[in-house]
Amino acid sequence: MRETAIQVRGLSKAYKVGTVQRENKLAVQVLDSLKAAIRRGVRRETTPQQTIWALRNVDFDIQQGESVGIIGRNGAGKSTLLKVLSNITAPTTGRVDVYGQIGSLLEVGTGFHPELTGRENIYLSATIQGMERKAIARRFDEIVDFAGVETFIDTPVKRYSSGMYMRLAFAVSAFVESDILIVDEVLAVGDTEFQKKCISKMQQSTSEGRTLLFVSHQLALLANVCERCILLVNGEKRADGPSQSVILHYMNDLESADTRSGELVWADPATAPSSPVVRLDAIRIHSNGNVTSFVDIDKEVTFEIEYTVLRSGTPLYMSIQLFSGDGTNILATANFKSANLTTDEWAGKAYPEGNFRTTCTLPPNFLNDGSYSISVIILTDAEVGYVEIAKPNIMSFSVRETGEMRAEYIGSWIGMIRPKLAWQTQPHTPPASLKSGSST
């Protein structure tokens, strides 16, 4: 059983709007003096102070070697939580117990001085994070190589690009011999290749027994790096558990705030799209047991068409066309039995009058993440294609990333579809003629 690395009980943090927090008295005194000089002789109206609770009664335990992601919307309290854990700011109420040394990377260039060179900042930042000079010298070449700033190591970091700044800052924190690594949303500054290196390093750190706390809005990245996630909503802990389930909980919260329902119903037959043969009653999108306009990439999606046959004796065919967000036609499908496109037992048969429902299902891991729309067409002649009803781009939906098939890859996946295909590799023995090097 792993030992506790971080224990948080009843943690709350409040800020008063319009006031300076009194944690650094010297800095506050200097700031107050400057403000007094600026305001001298200027009429100033007072406004009542307002208290904002960035965190409220947060409780959790993190075990040694765990990788934990902190997720939530902007302003949920994620960065404040990491600052409290890193002892940068003090809690208003509650208790935080940390067992081990912490290495934190909370913003680009944490612990760097702009006038110092990259070399000097490595020693400065690593020393601040508790690393001895001999240990820094031993890991120096690894840090520089990881950051890829060899050419500029003796250049003041104020001349670095933001990407170089971040790479060196992350490299120092990653190689500091700390027990706990805390990383806030800084990887967004780096390029894809460096992000992959960072992910690999974080995964290596946890495999070696270090504890990782990671804040990111890249949910697929969190799902692959972190075994567990904590969801914060308005400063309160809303969910805590395995990454995939907490991320799904978070995405469902986002979905509930969206007005799209995944359902279009014509309750009044007089206003419904119709012809003398058929009337369209409803269109729905189903996924994971729900009617929804948000589809997880690793779940199947079903398109449902409800309609009323007004005149018996006519064969009907349903067709769906799928379009990407930029209007590209990705596919068209129909239940034409003559073309062996369907197993629908009603395909090609003459319908009696009454109500019917036809569905079409796309398999999981088929569409890429992104926005899509569908067109629904009802025909009465498969060969000629006589259209009874056509509703172009009648409904839209989004396919959202869950980390399925990604592993450590975090870049954009090329293409409009992302099918999960069967790959196989086997040892191969070349023909004897090739073994001997003979040619024809």
Q: Per-residue pLDDT for the chain (440 aa), expressed as one digit of tens each?
A: 568 999 999 999 998 765 555 555 555 566 666 666 655 555 555 455 678 888 999 999 999 989 999 988 877 888 889 889 988 889 999 999 999 888 777 665 566 888 899 999 899 888 887 788 898 999 899 999 988 889 999 999 888 876 788 788 888 877 877 888 888 766 655 566 777 777 787 888 888 888 999 887 777 778 778 889 999 998 999 999 998 888 877 876 765 554 457 899 998 888 889 898 999 999 999 998 889 888 888 899 999 999 999 999 888 889 999 988 766 888 888 887 765 556 788 877 889 999 999 999 999 989 888 888 899 999 887 565 688 898 888 888 988 877 655 655 555 677 777 888 888 888 888 887 766 655 54
pLDDT at 271: 84
Q: Exposed (0-12), middle (13-18) or buried (19+): which is 320, by Cβ within 10 Å?
A: buried
- Rounded to whole angstroms, what are the CA distances from 108 to 10, 74, 139, 190, 346? 30, 18, 21, 10, 62
SS3 state of residue 436:
coil
Task: Tell me 265's DSSP state.
Answer: E
Euclidean distance between CA atoms 260 and 240, whole angstroms? 27
pLDDT at 416: 76
List helix spans (H) across 45-132.
78-85, 118-128
Q: Which domains does the chain have, with CATH numbers?
A: 4-36+48-256 (3.40.50.300), 263-400 (2.70.50.60)
Contact 395, 373 (CB under 8 A): yes
Adjacency order of strands within the sheet including 211-215: 102-105, 180-183, 211-215, 67-71, 228-233, 236-242
Euclidean distance between CA atoms 333 and 379, whole angstroms? 13
194 backbone dihedrals φ, ψ, rounded to 5°: -70, -35
SS3 state of residue 32:
helix
CA angle in degrees (0–180, nearest 5) for 22-59-3 = 110
Euclidean distance between CA atoms 184 and 109, whole angstroms? 12
Retrieve residue 226's tokens.
């972190």
pLDDT at 259: 41
